[in-house]
Amino acid sequence: MRISNLTPEDSEGASALWDQAGLTRPWNPPEADLLRALAGETSTVLGLFDGGTLVGTVMVGHDGHRGWVYYLAVAESHRGTGLGRRLMLAAEDWLRERGVVKLQLMVRSANAGVLDFYDRLGYEDADVQVRAKWLR
């Protein structure tokens, strides 16, 4: 198992993994998110490879102040073996190396079950409300 930065060539594998993990939405093409994150100087997508197979991802970046993660996913076949934790620790290290001292993340209300996972990793309720606006 190794963790490395994804490249644009990993787009198909990452999209398939995110579809399986229930993270994609029809109105938001994941390939575009991946390419944008890889092109940015303050973001990347880390991939966990079992041999040559992509079995986990986390998108990580910072906005100059806080760090954020998106697209945390572990293939169903590999869950429950500590890989989700390993990916989150890798994302935390990536941010620490860039001087970022706080990591934030958003969980869809429909996916509230995953909050227990983040609790296990030491993430606390930030007691904030999030607002969003489409900029089309």
How far is it, in rounded angstroms, from Cα 63 to Cα 99?
12
116's CB contacts (< 8 A; 6+ apart) are none
Q: Which is nearer to ligand COA, 53 or 81 (CB)?
A: 81
107: contact with ligand COA by CB under 6 A: yes
125: contact with ligand COA by CB under 6 A: no
Q: Which is nearer to ligand COA, 68 or 79 (CB)?
A: 79
Q: Which is nearer to ligand COA, 108 or 136 (CB)?
A: 108
81: contact with ligand COA by CB under 6 A: yes
79: contact with ligand COA by CB under 6 A: yes
28's CB contacts (< 8 A; 6+ apart) are none
Of the candidates 23, 119, 115, 103, which has an alpha carbon nearest to the alpha carbon of residue 68?
Answer: 103
